[in-house]
Chain A
C-alpha cells in the first residue's frame, strides 16, 4: 500500500519535471504546408543549430495567412516568405516587377505595420505559373497566357485551394487577361495536381516555377506575357523581439540565403519528391556551401 503511494508520488514528480522541460528559450521556426517551404525552413533551422542556437520546429502550419497569424501572435519567431506573396496576398499592393524595388517595399511595410523584419533574400524566384505538358503546348499551339485566356473554357484546371481564392490566383488571371473561365476547376493536394495533369484528368495545372516536377516531367510553363506575377524571392521574416534577443540570427541566415538559387531550389524539390528526407537535403546543402 505504501508502495503504490510512493509510486504515485514519483509519477507526479516525474510529470512535473518533464513538463518544465518544455519551456526552454528556443527559436521557433515555422513553415507553410508545401515542400519548398519545408526545405527552406529546414535549411534555416539547421543553419541556426550548427551555430549553436536551439531550434523548435513548427513546420506544416498551413497557408500564408496561418503562418503570418502565428508570427504576429508570437507562436513562431521566423519563417520563409516570398516577396510576391507578401505584396499581393498580405499587403494588397499593386504589382511591381523589379525584384529589388519589390523587396524594399515589402520589407518597409512589414516593419512598419507588423514589426516583422525581412532578412537578405535569396536569388531563387519561385513565381507562379500555369503548366501544361509539352504535348499539349505543341498540339494546341499555346505558349503564353494570353493565348490560353480566351479558350480556357475548353480545358480543365488542376490547382490547390489557395490558388482559387488568392488575388494573384484565378481572380488575378481573369482580371488581367480576361477569359480564364475554365471548364472545370478541381482542387488537389499540392503535389497530386501534377499527377492529374499527367494522367489526363486535367489539361492545365497551376504551378510554381521551382517545382521539381517541371524538370523531371518536362512540363512547359506558359509565358506570363502581361506580367501578372511579380518576382517571388524567398527570405526569412523574423520577429523584432527575436532579432533583439538573438542578434546572431540575422548574420547566420544572411550567409545562407544567397546560395539558394533557382537551380538549387528545383533540385531540392525534386529530391523531396523522389523520397529523400528534407533534413538530409538541407544538411547536404549546408555542407555544400560551407565547404
Chain B
C-alpha cells in the first residue's frame, strides 16, 4: 500500500474535508432536528406524525435524493450538505424525543413545582438529562453521515468520496482502498469519541 504512504498528505487533507462536511451538516441538522424532537416529545400525537415523516425521508435511497438535490441546488458542497441534513433528521429528532420523554417524571414535576418556565425546564433539566440518549443518536447519525458523505464524490462535493469514485473511474484500486480505509478510520474514531462523551454525561 505504497499509495497510502506517498499520498498521505492528500488522504489526510481529504479526510479532514470529509470530517468537516459531516460536522457542519450535523450541526445544521440539529438546528432543525432538536426543536422537532422537543415538539414530538411534548405532543406525542403530533410526534408520531413528525417522526413518521422523518423516517420516510430516511428511507429514500441516498443517490436518488442526491440526484434530485443536484437539480435543485447544483453541484459541489450544497447538494451533499443538504442530503446529509435530511438524512440526519430522523436519528437526531428521534433521540431527542426519546431522551426527553424518558426523563424521570419526578424531576420534571420538581422542576415545574420549584418555578421553572417550560423553556428553563427544557434547558436546565430535561435536555441535560436526555443528553446520553441524544448523544447516542448523534453517534449513529454521524456514522451514517460519514458513509453517505462519500457520495459527495459523485457531485463534486469533495472529501473521501472524491478519492473513492475517482479511483473507480481511473481504475486505481489503491485510491479506492485508501479512501475506504480512511473513511472507516474516521468512523471508528468518531464512534469512540462519542461513546466517551456519552459516558461522561451519564448521571
Contacts and interface: CB of A to CB of B under 8 A. Distances in A.
Interface stretch (B38-46, B53-61, B123-131, B183-191): B123-131
B125 to A, nearest CB: 9
Contacts of B175: 277
A60 B171 CA distance: 13
B74 A18 contact: no
A273 B169 CA distance: 11
Interface residue range, chain B: 20 to 34
Contact of A60 (B3, B23, B31, B154): B154
A12 B29 CA distance: 11
A150 interface: no
B37 to A, nearest CB: 15
Contact of A4 (B10, B27, B76, B201): B201
Contact of B75 (A16, A75, A189, A192): A75
Given A11-B27, A18-B24, A19-B28, A74 B172 contact: no
Given A4-B201, A59-B156, A60-B153, A38 B20 contact: no
A34 B169 contact: yes
Given A28-B76, A60-B165, A61-B156, A15 B28 contact: yes
B5 to A, nearest CB: 13
A189 B170 CA distance: 10
Contacts of B170: 35, 38, 272, 278
A186 interface: no
B75 A70 contact: yes
A241 B10 CA distance: 31
Contacts of B27: 11-12, 14-16
Interface residues of A, number: 38
B166 interface: yes
Contacts of A73: 74
B166 A28 contact: no
A74 B27 CA distance: 28
Contacts of A191: 171
Nearest to A18: B24
Interface string A187-198: 001111000000
A15 B172 contact: no
Interface string B171-203: 110110000000000000000000000000100
Nearest to A38: B170
B156 A56 contact: yes
A30 interface: yes
Nearest to B157: A58
A28 B124 contact: no
A58 B20 contact: no
Interface string B113-128: 0000000000110001
Interface in A132-161: none
A275 interface: yes
B75 A275 contact: no
Contacts of B166: 38, 59-60, 278
Contact of B156 (A18, A34, A58): A58
Contacts of B201: 4
Contacts of A57: 156, 162
A76 to B, nearest CB: 7
A166 to B, nearest CB: 19
Q: Which 7 pairs across A and B sit closest by C-beta, in order of nearness?
A: A58-B156, A15-B27, A75-B75, A75-B74, A22-B77, A19-B24, A191-B171
Interface of B: 3, 7, 10, 20, 23-24, 27-28, 31, 74-77, 81, 123-124, 128, 131, 153-156, 162, 165-166, 169-172, 174-175, 201
21 contacts: A4-B128, A4-B201, A15-B24, A18-B23, A34-B169, A38-B169, A38-B170, A56-B76, A57-B156, A57-B162, A58-B76, A60-B153, A60-B154, A60-B156, A76-B156, A190-B169, A272-B170, A273-B171, A275-B3, A277-B7, A278-B166
